[in-house]
Structure 1
Amino acid sequence: MTTSSKTEVLINSGHRPLREVNREIRAASEAGHIVTVSETLSRHNLGVGLSGPGLVKLDGNVGYYCGGLNNGGQVLITGNSGWATGEGMAAGLITVDGSAGMSAGAAMRGGVLHIRGNAGPRCGIAQKSGDIVVEGDIGYLTGFMSHGGRIICLGNSIGSVGDSLWQGTVWVAGEIEKLGIDAEVITPSEEDVADVDSSLERLGIEPAVRNWKQIVAGKKLWYFEARDAKKWLMI
């Protein structure tokens, strides 16, 4: 680890032991530094468990679970990310300049995950709270069994979106290819649209008139009845 000034810390990942790399990232972040991690080499579990006020820039592609268990850290991934980016995040901001793989934002409990490209299948699976913003398209089964929070897609939804939703919502500005089981589209209120647009502006996304569709639970799966068992078997 080298420090080029009081506020900038350079950390090389390469093939060094991951525990050592993450220990240095957390220490620099907690001290409020701007941290740049080079030679990310698509490694898994980089930048997990952050809680400090510093900005962590991961320069390149990253593997699975990047930014997982984030609790207030600010993470910028300059390339693409693998599975489960921001998994279990409680607070903070993770930005992916490229696209994200399967299960981005899985089991999120808070914070914001901003994906500037596309998101793979099962984005926001089991999400509890927080916002996932995808500027591109979202893959199949996005929002599967989401219990809370919002998934906001500026592109198109591919595959069964909102399957088995509970109290989470999925917003789609583009086309919806297919709804998941027990998902339905409603016309959002003006207040909710204004709140979504405000959230996008805070992320630096230009305001625009968008044809928002809000996907919510149809609530048929909320209460099990033996005569409706076929619906459960379809999940």
Structure 2
Amino acid sequence: MAEIACGSRDTREINAEIKRAIAAGDRDIVVKDPGARHNLGVAVLAPVRIRFAGSVGYYCAGLGDGPHIEIDESAGWGLAESLMSGEIVVRGSAGNGAAAAIRGGTVVIHGDAAARLGVSMKGGAVLVAGNCGYMAGFMGQKGALVVCGDVGDAFADSMYETVCFVGGRIGGLGTDAVVESPSKEDAAWLDARLAQHLPEARKRGQDFQKIVAGRKLWNFDKREWKVWQEAL
């Protein structure tokens, strides 16, 4: 196991040290005292395990392809943005825009997530044990978004094929968002994912609400201009 002490070093030096450790063959790396620095652990393109022993700042673990990154405490804005594959786990809470534009992989948040969770996601899965803020799932194209607690206003606004599941209250649905009952297959998928990633949530798949796109915004039609005015 490689250990990296942040000390007084800046983000560039720390990230360079992580890349050097990976190049040297280390597959298990601990970064001590990250001190909520921004942009840590970005563009890691190898199946390695990295643990940040503390809190991280903005845009941690973005642009990754393959890593397992664990954050002992909380994360700032933009966690795991544009993740291609791998797994990002936050033991605390995450700021705005977590898992934005991910294309694959899994993002797990054991606390709460702030606004705009999973916006424009194009694949993968996002799981939150607590609550999330407004506009989660906005313009989601594929993938699954699971929130065990409550969600804020404009939830699942203007989505395409992302599928959302909510275990608590919905503060307000976004434009063209529709609530459905989960199927047996949905419930089984949720049970398996929660058992794997969030066993402490103690939720059953059958107790979630399923939110999908109503498909009214998928194709522009001038005869439905009022619907588009609401969306815009």
TM-score by length of 2: 0.93
For 1:96, which of 85, 90, 101 is the aligned residue?
A: 90
Unaligned runs of 5+ in 1: 1-7
Aligned-residue offset at 1:222: 0.8
Distance (Å, rounded) in 2 between the aligned partners of 1:152 and 1:27: 35
Aligned to 1:10: 3
Aligned to 2:161: 167
Aligned to 2:13: 20
- Secondary structure at 1:49's aligned position in 2? coil
For 2:230, which of 201, 223, 234 is the aligned residue?
A: 234
The residue type equivalent to 1:205 in the other structure is: P
Aligned to 1:5: none
Aligned to 1:3: none
- Secondary structure at 1:108's aligned position in 2? coil
Aligned to 2:59: 65
- Residue 47 of structure 2 contacts residue 86 of structure 2 at CA under 8 Å; is this kept in 1? no
Aligned-residue offset at 1:227: 3.1
Aligned-residue offset at 1:199: 1.6
- Structure showing the higher strand proportion among its residues: 1
For 1:150, which of 144, 169, 186 is the aligned residue?
A: 144
- Structure showing the higher helix proportion among its residues: 2
> What RMSD over aligned residues (CA atoms) do the two structures have, in Å?
1.5
CA pair 208-119 structure 1, distance change in 2 beyond 3 A: closer
- Secondary structure at 2:15's aligned position in 1? helix
After TM superposition, the structure 1 = structure 2 runs for residues 1-235 of structure 1, keeping only pairs within 5 Å, are 8-29=1-22, 31-203=25-197, 205=199, 208-210=203-205, 211-235=207-231
The residue type equivalent to 1:219 in the other structure is: R
- Residue 136 of structure 1 contacts residue 153 of structure 1 at CA under 8 Å; is this kept in 2? yes
Q: 187-196 or 202-211, which moves further after superposition?
A: 202-211
Distance (Å, rounded) in 2 between the aligned partners of 1:225 and 1:53: 46
Runs of 4+ in 1 over 6 A off after TM superposition: none
Distance (Å, rounded) in 1 between the aligned partners of 2:164 and 2:6: 36
- Secondary structure at 1:149's aligned position in 2? strand
- Residue 86 of structure 1 contacts residue 105 of structure 1 at CA under 8 Å; is this kept in 2? yes
Distance (Å, rounded) in 1 between the aligned partners of 2:110 and 2:204: 19
Distance (Å, rounded) in 1 between the aligned partners of 2:86 and 2:151: 26
TM-score by length of 1: 0.92
State, as a whole percentage, how many aligned pairs show the same letter.
Answer: 39
- Residue 26 of structure 1 contacts residue 52 of structure 1 at CA under 8 Å; is this kept in 2? no
Unaligned runs of 5+ in 2: none
Distance (Å, rounded) in 2 between the aligned partners of 1:131 and 1:29: 26
